[in-house]
C-alpha cells in the first residue's frame, strides 16, 4: 500500500525507533544526552511524512510549515548511533544500553533487508542565507516572502547521501525486488527513460568525474518496478538506438 518510490520498510523502522523512545521515556529521564541520539530519527520522521503526503495525496507539508522548523532540533547530534557508548557511571545504564541496542537492531534489520537506511535516521545540515538572487544548484527549498530573500540552504555530502556505485545499486535493487535479475542494459534503459542521472535525488556525479553514484532513494525507486515495466522500457530504449 506504500506509494511507489517510498521505502515503507525503512519508514516503519524509523517509526518503531521513535515508538521505542516514547515507550521508554520514563526510564530514560536521567539520560538527557539521548536527545542527540534521537535527533536524526525525529528529523527524518518529519521528512518521511512530508514525502509520503506528497506521493499519496499530492499535499506538501512545506506549504503549511516553514522549512526552518522542519529540522526539529536546535543542536545536531555528535556520533552515529552505531558508535554511541553508554557511560558506565551514569544512572539507568541498563535501560539506556538496552535502548541503544534496540536502535541498532532496527537499523541493522533495515539494512539487511536492503531498505534505504537514510529513511531511518539522517542528519541534515540546514543553514539560513540571505541573498538577492537564487543561483546555487544546492538550493533545497524556497524564498521567504516576508524576510527579503531569506532562503533555506541544504548542503549535501554525496559520500553520505549517494554511497552506491552503479554495480552496488544493481546488486541492492536485485536483492530487494521480485522477478528477473536486472542487468546493466536495464539500468541504461531506465536511466534513459526517466532521466535519472539528471535527478540529484537519485544520482550525483562530480564535475571532474565520469561515473555516477546513487542514493538509497534510487534503490527504492528502481525496486518498485516490475518486470513488465522494465521489459517495455528496454524495448523502447533498444528501438531508439536502432538506425
pLDDT digits (tens, 9 = 90+) for 111-165: 777 777 778 877 655 444 443 333 333 333 433 344 443 433 445 567 777 888 9
Tell me what pLDDT residue 44 has.
Answer: 83
pTM of the model: 0.48
Tell me what pLDDT residue 85 has.
Answer: 44
**Cβ(217)–Cβ(160) below 8 Å:** no
Residue boundaries of the structural domains of the chain: 8-119, 125-155, 160-241
Find the farthest-apart pair of alpha carbons in the chain and give their distance in angstroms, rounded.
73
Tell me what pLDDT residue 157 has.
Answer: 63
Tell me what pLDDT residue 135 has.
Answer: 34
Tell me what pLDDT residue 78 has.
Answer: 42
Q: Which residues of the chain have pLDDT under 50?
A: 72-90, 126-154
Strand 213-214 and strand 203-204: the pairing is antiparallel
Q: How far is CA 100 from the centre of its chain?
A: 21
3-state DSSP call for residue 28?
coil
**Cβ(153)–Cβ(199) below 8 Å:** no
Amino acid at each position: 500500500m506504500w506509494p511507489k518510490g517510498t521505502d515503507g520498510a525503512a519508514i516503519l523502522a524509523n517509526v518503531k525507533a521513535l515508538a521505542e523512545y516514547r515507550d521508554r521515556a520514563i526510564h530514560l529521564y536521567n539520560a538527557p544526552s539521548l536527545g542527540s541520539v534521537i535527533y536524526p530519527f525525529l528529523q527524518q520522521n518529519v521528512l518521511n511524512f512530508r514525502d509520503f503526503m506528497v506521493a499519496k495525496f499530492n499535499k506538501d507539508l512545506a506549504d503549511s510549515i516553514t522549512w526552518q522548523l522542519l529540522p526539529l532540533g536546535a543542536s545536531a547530534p555528535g556520533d552515529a548511533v552505531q558508535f554511541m557508548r553508554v557511560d558506565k557511571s551514569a544512572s539507568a545504564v541498563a535501560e539506556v544500553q538496552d535502548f541503544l541496542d534496540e536502535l541498532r537492531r532496527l537499523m541493522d534489520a533495515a539494512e539487511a533487508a536492503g531498505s534505504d537506511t537514510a529513511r531511518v535516521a539522517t542528519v541534515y545540515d540546514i543553514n539560513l542565507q540571505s541573498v538577492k538572487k537564487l543561483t546555487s544548484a544546492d538550493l533545497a527549498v524556497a524564498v521567504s516572502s516576508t524576510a527579503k530573500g531569506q532562503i533555506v540552504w541544504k548542503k549535501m555530502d554525496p559520500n553520505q547521501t549517494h554511497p552506491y556505485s552503479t554495480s552496488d545499486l544493481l546488486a541492492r535493487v536485485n536483492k530487494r525486488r521480485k522477478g528477473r535479475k536486472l542487468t546493466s542494459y536495464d539500468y541504461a534503459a531506465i536511466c534513459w527513460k526517466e532521466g535519472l542521472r539528471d535527478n540529484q535525488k537519485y544520482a550525483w556525479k562530480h564535475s571532474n568525474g565520469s561515473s555516477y553514484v546513487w542514493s538509497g532513494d534510487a534503490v527504492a525507486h528502481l525496486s518498485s518496478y516490475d518486470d513488465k515495466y522494465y521489459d517495455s522500457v528496454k524495448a523502447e530504449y533498444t528501438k531508439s538506438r536502432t538506425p
